[in-house]
Amino acid sequence: MASHMTSPSPVGSFDHALLAHGPSHLRSELVDSDYSHSSYSESESTAASSVDEMRTHRPLPVGVYVPTVCFFEEGSEDLDVDTIAKHAVRLAQAGVAGIATQGSNGEAVHLTHKERKIVTSVTRKALNEAGFSSMPVIVGCGTQSTRETIELCCDAAHSGGDYALVLPPSYYKGNYNPDSVINFFEDVADASPIPILIYNYPAAVSGTDLDSDAIIKLSAHPNIVGCKLTCGNTGKLNRIAAATQAATLTDSGSGFMCMGGSADFTLQMLVGGGSGVICGLGNVVPKACVEIFEVYRSGDLTKALKLQQVVARGDWAAIAGGIVGTKSGLQTYFGYGGFGRKPLPRPTQEEAEKHAEAFKEIVALENSL
C-alpha cells in the first residue's frame, strides 16, 4: 500500500486547501478569526498557529496518546485555559507520544466552534513553550455533515492541530446507503488540510461499527493515515495492522497508525502489531500507561503483563466513571479537574470517594514511577 510516512498533506499547503475546498464563509473567518475568551486572545496564540506550522504536520510516533480533559472555571463554566495548558504539559512531561483535543473526554459536544479552536490553540502554545514543539496534536473533528466536518478540520489546522480524528456520521443512519460512510470519509480526506484518522467508536455513533474491510479500503487514501479502534476488537486491529503494514515499536512500516482506543488492551495491541493507544486513562495516570510500552520494548513480557492487569483495572474506573469519574479522580489525587459542563452531574461526596477508591491502585503505580 502507499506509504503514510511523514509527507505533507496532499493538497500542498494549508492556504491552497482552503481556497480549493473550504466553505466560502470559513475562508474569511480563518483570516480574521477571533480567539478571545476571558483572558485568552488570538495574539497569544501566534506560536501555535503560524502559517509555517500549518503547511506541514508533525509525525505520529508509536506510543501513548491522551485525549485531554477540558477544564472549566467554577461557576461560570468558561474555559479554564490555565489548567488546560498545565495539564497538557504534565502529560508531555510524563512521556506520552502525543495529545488529542476535542474527544469524548474533552467534552467536544459541549463546546462551540470558537471554544474548540481556543482549546487546541492553548494546548499547542503550551507544548511549544514547554519545549515540546515536536509533539503532535490530534483534534477531534467528527460531526454529522460532511461540510461541517471539513470546517472543523480547517479550524483544527488553523489552531495548531496536526491531524483530525473523525467519527462516522450516524444521525441519519437509517437513510444511508452502503457507500455513504465510505464516501463521507473520502470527501473529508479530499478536502481536509491536515491528515485524518478514522475513529471507530460504535457506542458514540448509534452502533455504527466500521469493519476491517472498510477501514483497509479507506487506508488507501493518501490523506487517511490511521485509525482509533475504541470498539476494542483486537482481531480487527490485527487485520488492519497487517494489511496496512502499520507502524510498530520495531518497524515503521508504511507509517499508517493502527491504534487502540483504551488502555485496557495496550499489551494486546502491541503483541497484535498495533501502533499505539489513544486512552482517556492517561489523563489521570500517563506514566503508568507509558510504562507498559517501555517494559514491552525491553522484552520483559511477564512484567508487561502484570502492568497491563493493573492498568486494565484502572481503566475500568475511567470507563465506568466516564468523564465525571475521571475529573473526580484528577481532583482527588492531583488537585485539579473540576466538573463537567451541565447537564453533566457533579459527584456527591460519597460518589467522589467511590471514584477515588476505584483509582487507588493505579494512582499508587503512577506515583511509584
Q: How far apart are CA 70 and CA 100, in angstroms?
A: 11
pLDDT-derived band of residue 3, with 50, 70 and 90 as boundaries?
A: low
Do 203 and 97 form a contact (C-beta atoms < 8 A)? no
For the record, the C-alpha cell of 331 comes out as 481532583
Report the pLDDT averaged over residues 71-79.
97
pLDDT at 31: 29
Do 248 and 62 form a contact (C-beta atoms < 8 A)? yes
Q: Write the DSSP string, 126-170.
A: HHHHTT-TTS-EEEE---SSHHHHHHHHHHHHHTT-SEEEEPPP-
Could you give the 3-state DSSP secondary structure of residue 91? helix
pLDDT-derived band of residue 117, with 50, 70 and 90 as boundaries?
A: very high
Find, among 202, 177, 250, 261, the residue nearest to 226 by Cα. 261
Contacts of residue 151, defined as CB under 8 A and 6 or more positions apart, other chains included, come to: 22, 23, 26, 113
Do 99 and 134 form a contact (C-beta atoms < 8 A)? no
Amino acid at 174: G
pLDDT tens across 257-306, in order?
999 999 999 999 999 999 999 999 999 999 999 999 999 999 999 999 99
pLDDT tens across 206-225, in order?
888 999 999 999 999 999 99
Residues classed as catalytic: 228
Average pLDDT, the chain: 88
| DSSP one-letter code for 203 | G
pTM: 0.88
